[in-house]
Structure 1
Amino acid sequence: MSVSYRQPGVVLTDRRFTVPLDHNAPAGETIEIYAREVAAADRPGQDLPWLVYLQGGPGFGANRFVGRQAWLERALKEYRVLLLDQRGTGRSTPANRQTLPLRGGPAEQADYLTLFRGDSIVRDCELIRREITGGAPWTVLGQSFGGFCTVNYLSTAPEGLSAAVITGGLPALDAHADDVYRAAYPRIERKVAAHYARYPQDVERARRIADHLLSHDVVLPNGYRLTVEAFQSLGILLGGSEGSHRLHYLLEDAFVRTPGGGELSDAFQEEAQSLLSYAGHPLYALIHEAIYGQDDRPTDWSAERVRGEFPQFDAAKTLTGDGPLLFTGESVHPWTFDADPALRPLRETAELLAARADWQPLYDRERLAANEVPVAAAVYHDDMYVDTAHALHTARSIRGLRTWVTDEFEHDGVRAGGPRVLDRLLALARDEV
């Protein structure tokens, strides 16, 4: 039974759908998918077209907006919006350290998690679409990983789409994870340099914290082991519109004087653990590299291996000189599963996924080259999370796709830019600009 309720300017309706765990075995086990319908408060019953939102990630439930925040203000002028909690996230059947043991041991858990990539998410969408639209196609808005899912949608079920808009989410169509991270580390280094140019005082602060972590065993209040590599991973903030400022404020509160000397402050530790813990989104860590798996090569902890090709990211070596400490970005490493108590029970499962070599292709170049769905994509210049060169190469591979390349926004432009980003992309897709 659907339940409706109100927030300022909107009517929300909880929706639940039952879908096959494995779409290739539709008569087998099922899971539940949750989605929140959002309609403008002055026309909740109108027969408007649908827009489904595919959240970035992987592993995050859809945004929990209040009222008409961010891009919703523009979308609700003409659509009913469906905020989908992708399988395993949010209020959909969860996949985490508490629930995965129900599947069995690590091997069974790893097999289960292979069914949580973009191809399965798109097949969920198609079942849901037919249930709620009566078969009519809908518009999809894909942010980041949601854009990867959208390109899979265009490859496998374009008949379900009336239009597609993508923000910061055009994937490399056939690159291995190694190619993705080999392009990422220089990009991350540029973002770190830009941060230090804005906040030069942070150079010494970051070096001091790293030096402290190399000589002390620091365990955060939630049990997270804060190593220097974990500290460097806070650079993931630098891909967002406010990230550099947030990192600066975190660093300036790092130390406090105590009778035993300088120690990392409680305030710093509290904020660091909230940023580093995967307790709320473990799927991100478990299948992050798997979203790039498409051939008979394992991902094999790609981010960790490729990092070795960039010795400037080695904190211990950096501290023997006077150079700035480099932060890292959107990457998952074997040590992540040792450091985070929310992930430790899943370390063996993660190892099996990293070793897997039977990933199915996610994108169909021939279908994309013959695409007839109106598509527009925002490509953020020097996006920290998605390589611009890869994105533009993919854009040229999708027939009719129109790009908006901009350095006005970072990766979170669809949120930070409010209605403007969606408005421009819809106009591009409709050939109105």
Structure 2
Amino acid sequence: MAEAFAALTAGSPAVTRSAGHTVAGRHEFRGVRTVEHFFTVPLDHAQPGGAEITVFAREYVSAEHTDAEAAALPWLLFLQGGPGGRGNRATSFSGWMKAAARDFRILMLDQRGTGLSAPVDRNTLPLQGSAAEQAAYLALFRADSIVADAELIRAALGADPWTVLGQSFGGFCALSYLSFAPSGLKEVLITGGLAPLHGPAERVYRATFQRVAARNAEYFGWYPEDRERVTRIARHLARHEELLPDGSRLTPERFQMVGAFLGGNTRVDALHYLLEDAFVDTPAGERLSDAFLEQVRPQVSRAANPLYAVLHESIYGQGAATDWAAWRVLEEFPQFRPDAAEPLLTGEMVYPWYFEQDPALQPLREVAELLAAKQDWAPLYDLEQLAANTVPVAAAVYKDDIYVDYELSMETAAAVRGLQAWTTADFHHDGIGEDGEGIFRRLLGMVRP
């Protein structure tokens, strides 16, 4: 990807190429003005004359600003979590967007493969040809390509170096931005997204399995009755066929995926409300309720964001195959087995059986296997550039984050010159959703003393 960025900038501090750009619509509602932008960018930035894709971004501006005032505001690019997460669809300003809209034009990017940006799912991916061709296509949908898209978009907008806010995987992308295109950045804010800069994916999962186990223990300390409920549900699913609304079977291991609730400050308590809905009496005996199964379905299906499963481990791939790292590391943590005496709930890890049990992923199984075996992943970070960084960077690092490990995050913080880390145990991975305004203001104040 270094060659791609060299072609992109041609050694100049200003980008010399830009994306094709179309404005599709302008709207105003509840104090918000939006502009819908479509950009044409190369599929492979190392081959700018080759195939192209369309990338979408929505601009948000406060209606409190006049048109002239809004045009003079600096840009803030938001990079969403994921992989596979589209930009937020805000219907009013709240949280960090409320704070940012006072001083910025916000550009909410649908990263390539998500939302309206060349969306990838089981229906669209076959357009690329064979499984091998589909895998080669998806290999171009990682952080380095997202950053190259952003630089072409910045040039198309005529924007000066901009502020970037990266949440979770968006923070990983921000580190790639600092590595390969720092001249496009004024300042960088990262929330729960300091990626490990080197090493195999296994080291990530060894750390996060321990974090998830500790979070299970904390949760069951708050809700001891749910310890029995989780075991009871897992045993029931091992003995009885229960179907989700999409017709697929809810297996014990799929049920364990509701552990995603454990990664949040407020969502964690919603897990209790879910579990208490589990069982009802029927003429056929005790069964799982329709209400429970309907609530579980979006937690265990990747229909809305298949790239999350297909590309998840590739975000740690640099020069070696990831080879289902989480699945292999799981063997070291038998308490997460679905047939354990008291099975624990799992986190964000992705396993091969996802592609056997989830109807949205079944057609992508061969592609996922090819990506898991891919050996020649390009570097996602330039360690020398990060060590010499001059862009102001501030990061919120959550001490009990079950998705982005604290120790690995602090290792990365020390490797980026000038990065200021705010460490806190007050929030979990979704801190920006609980006090986005406060976190945004704190980080912005850190880069603007």
TM-score by length of 2: 0.93
CA distance in 1 between counterparts of 2:165 and 2:355 reads: 32
- Equivalent residue letter for 2:100: A
Match of 1:123 in 2: 148
Once the 2 structures are TM-superposed, how far is the Cα of residue 227 of structure 1 from its aligned partner? 1.1
Secondary structure at the counterpart of residue 95 of structure 2: coil
The 3-state SS of whatever aligns with 1:78 is coil
1:177 aligns with 2:201: yes
Mapped pair 1:62 → 2:87: yes
Q: Name the structure 1 match of 2:14.
A: none
Q: Deviations over 1:285-327 (max 9, x none)?
A: 10000110001x2111111110011111123131xxxxx3311
The answer for the alignment partner of 1:205 in structure 2 is: 229
SS in 1 for 2:188: strand
The answer on whether the counterparts of 1:301 and 1:334 sit within 8 Å (CA) in structure 2 is yes
1:328-339 to 2 correspondences below 5 Å: 328-339=346-357
Structure 2 residue aligned with 1:277: 301
Partner SS state of residue 142, structure 1: strand
AA at the equivalent of 1:303: A
Runs of 5+ unmatched residues, structure 1: 319-323
Q: How many residues are paired up?
A: 424
Q: SS of the residue aligned with 2:439?
A: helix
CA distance in 1, matches of 2:80, 2:422: 20
Distance 1:37 1:229, change over 3 A: same
SS in 2 for 1:185: helix
The answer to whether the Cα contact below 8 Å between 2:190 and 2:394 also exists between their aligned partners in 1 is yes
User: Which runs of 5 or more structure 2 residues have no equivalent in the other structure?
Assistant: 1-22
- Kept after mapping to 2: 8 A contact 1:167/1:414: yes
Following superposition, the deviation at residue 397 of structure 1 comes to 0.6
Structure 1 residues 361-382: Cα deviation after superposition (integer angstroms, max 9, x where no partner): 1111110011000000000111
Equivalent residue, structure 2, for 1:77: 102
> 2: CA distance between counterparts of 1:301 and 1:420?
38
Give the TM-score, by structure 1 length.
Answer: 0.96
d(CA) in 2 for partners of 1:336, 1:185: 18
2:334 aligns with 311
Distance between the aligned counterparts of 1:198 and 1:133, measured in 2? 52
Q: What is the letter of the counterpart of residue 9 of structure 1?
A: G
1:12-23 equivalences in 2 (<5 Å): 12-23=34-45
| In structure 2, C-alpha distance between the alignment counterparts of 1:144 and 1:418, rounded to whole Å | 14
Corresponding position: 1:105 with 2:127: no
- Of 169, 172, 178, which residue of structure 2 is paired with 1:154? 178
Aligned with 1:325 (options 343, 358, 361) = 343
2:394 to 376, 386, 406: 376
**How much identity, in percent, do the aligned residues show?**
53
Residue 393 of structure 1 aligns with which residue?
A: 411
CA contact (8 A) 2:314 2:372 kept: yes
Q: Are the counterparts in 1 of residues 27 and 33 from structure 2 also a CA contact under 8 Å?
A: yes
1:223 Cα deviation (Å)? Answer: 2.5
Which of residues 322, 342, 347 in structure 2 aligns to 1:299? 322
Aligned-partner SS, 1:15: strand
**Are 2:374 and 1:356 equivalent residues in the alignment?**
yes
1:203 and 1:325 in contact (8 A); partners too: no
Counterpart selection for 1:345 from 337, 357, 363: 363
Distance in 1 between the 2:223 and 2:28 partners?
43
Residue by residue, what CA displacement relative to the aligned partner does 1:155-212 show, whole Å, maximum 9, x if unpaired? 0000000000000000000021111101111100011111101111101111110000
Whole-angstrom CA distance in 2 between matches of 1:391 and 1:248:
30
Within the candidate set 245, 262, 265, 1:241 is matched to 265
- How far the C-alpha of 1:217 sits from its partner, in A, is 2.6
Where does residue 409 of structure 1 map in the other structure? 427
Q: Secondary structure at the match of 1:63?
A: coil
1:27 equivalenced with 2:49 (yes/no): yes
1:108 aligned partner, one-letter code:
E
Residues 392-422 of structure 1, C-alpha deviation per residue, up to 9 Å, x if partnerless? 0100111111011011111111121031000
The CA deviation at 1:234 is: 1.1
Q: Is the 8 A contact 1:224 1:273 kept in 2?
A: no
The CA deviation string for residues 16-75 of structure 1, in whole angstroms up to 9 with x for no partner, is 100000000101110011000000102152210000000000001011112112201110
8 Å CA contact retained: 1:369, 1:397: yes
CA-CA distance at 1:84 after TM superposition:
0.2
Q: Hey, what's the Cα distance between the residues in 1 that align with 2:235 and 2:252?
A: 8
CA offsets, 1:302-355, max 9 Å, x none?
A: 11110011111123131xxxxx33111011111111111111111111011111
Per the alignment, residue 33 of structure 2 pairs with 11
Check the 8 A contact 2:128/2:137 in 1, yes or no: yes
**Are the aligned partners of 2:257 and 2:299 in contact in 1 as well (CA < 8 Å)?**
no
Runs of 4+ in 1 over 3 A off after TM superposition: none
- SS of the aligned residue for 1:101 comes to helix
Aligned residues of 2:398 and 2:423 also touching (Cα < 8 A): yes
Cα distance change, pair 126–44 in 1 and its aligned pair in 2 (3 A): farther
SS of the residue aligned with 2:344? coil
2:265–2:430 contact (8 Å) kept in structure 1:
yes
> Separation in 2 of the partners of 1:290 and 1:405?
27
RMSD over aligned Cα atoms = 1.0
Q: Secondary structure at the match of 2:94?
A: coil
SS of the residue corresponding to residue 64 of structure 1 reads: coil
3-state DSSP of counterpart to 1:189 = helix
SS at 1:2 equivalent: strand
Match of 1:321 in 2: none
